[in-house]
Amino acid sequence: MKRLLAWAMMLTGVMATQVSAADVKLKALFIAQAAYNEQSVREMTDEFQKQNPSISVDLEFVPYEGLHDKIVLAQGSGDGYDAVLFDVIWPAEFAVNDILVDVTDRITPEMNAGVLPGAWTTVEYKGQRYGMPWVLDTKYLFYNKEMLAKAGFDTPPKTWAELMNQAKAIKEKGIVQHPIVWSWAQAEAVICDYGTLLSAFGGKFLDEKGAPAFQSDGGLKALDYMAASIKDGATNPNSREYLEEDVRRVFQDGEAAFALNWTYMFNLANDPKQSKVAGKVGVVAAPGVEGISTASAVNGSMGLGITKSSQHPEETWKYITFLTSQPIQNKFAKLSLPIWASSYDDPAVVEGQQEMVAAAKIGLPLMYPRPAAVKYQELSLLLQVAIQRALFDQASPDEALIEAASSYQP
């Protein structure tokens, strides 16, 4: 009887160990919009859980506009996340405030060699890495091939001045009332569009000392361009209230000839099930400025990191490296182009989106960074307000930018 009891106790202990090993539950936070959509993230996660039955992942999705604060507030709640999606503009703040785990030592030689060099800037601060790059993206110029042809243009614009000329011609011919649509709502979206133009005009957000530099030279020219396009009717005035999904809706409904947006729009706007302009959508790298730049791009990439509050950093890293692995990224390349250099020579990745990949090969190496500033959120908000004031003609572009610059304290 004693032996039987001992054996039963041992068996119970083994079973308890197995149950606890299978009881690792992770919480992961993502955005519910562009690039990898909710359905695709769930599919990736299901595949991960099938391969790792001892780990389950509870997914939460929030709009981009709520992502930053959700991450920060969760850290002090005692019920935080294990894996979080974070924007390229946040590593400085998150590193200084001890929100993300430094994973520099976890990066393998294969990762270093295989991931595109520019992708690593998404997760870096002062030489350390705080996650894996996941969404590698910049803004591109989408255009309606049929509308351009009706206006007599054989090729899309290569400069921002040429874009304006083509837009005015399309408007004058009555092809569409407002040829250009942007995401200029008071949100980070407008900073990305502004940053694209700023890079084209050779401007800077901040100087070498971290002080504002956007109020003159290329930064001022960028906002001058934006404000002028509203006044002359080339830009849809509702752009001042639009986010990226609004831009996609307007463009794929055939109400615009040009749109600035992220990679994800290419395949969705070419989908006949949801787009009125499917088969007519072209895409190129965002234009340049004659004598200054041949093309332009802003870094809109995002990474996946482990939070300092995670009780399961090893399992979280396993999940993150699965989502960012080349096979998974290649499988979902129609939603977001991979971070892996060799993927761009993979026929399965390129097939059906040759134009998008060609534009990416030009745009991705040019990605202009938004400032790696600890107080980036404050800087961004000041700029958002300044840009909106100029676009609504409440102040001249130079007045609005000078006021924003004087209000920012590095």
Domains located in the chain, CATH noted = 26-137+300-366 (3.40.190.10), 140-295+375-407 (3.40.190.10)
- Find all residues with CB under 8 Å of 93, minimum gap 6, and list them: 99, 374, 375, 376, 377
**Rounded CA separation 185/238 (Å):** 9
Choose the weakest-confidence range: 2-6, 101-105, 338-342: 2-6
* Predicted structure pTM score: 0.86
- Quick one: pLDDT at residue 32? 85
First to last CA, the chain: 75
pLDDT at 77 (0 to 100): 66
Segment 236-248, tens digit of pLDDT? 999 999 999 999 9
Residue 176: both structure tokens together: 């569409």
For 130, the token pair is 């705080």
Q: CA-CA distance, 133 to 321, in Å (whole number)? A: 10
Q: In 234-393, which ranges are continuous DSSP H helix?
A: 244-252, 265-269, 313-323, 326-331, 347-350, 354-363, 376-391
Residue in the structure block whose two tokens are 């290649």:
330
Rounded Cα–Cα distance for residues 348 and 51 (Å): 23
Sign, Cα dihedral of 218, 222, 227, 233 = positive
Q: Which helix (H) or strand (E) covers residue 132, if one does?
A: strand 132-135
H-only helix segments in 173-214: 188-200
pLDDT tens digits, 147-158: 999 999 999 999
pLDDT in tens, 287-305: 999 999 999 999 999 999 9
pLDDT confidence of residue 69: 93
DSSP β-bridge partners for residue 139: none
pLDDT by residue (tens digit) across 341-356?
A: 999 999 999 999 999 9
Torsion sign over Cα 358, 302, 133, 321: negative
State phi, psi for 142 to the nearest 5 degrees. Answer: -95, 145
Cα separation, 206 vs 212, in Å, equals 4
State residue 80's pLDDT score: 86
The mean predicted confidence, pLDDT, of the chain is: 93
Structure tokens that stand for 352 in this block: 């059906």
- Tell me what percent of the residues of the chain surpass a pLDDT of 70: 93
Average pLDDT, integer, range 22-29: 90
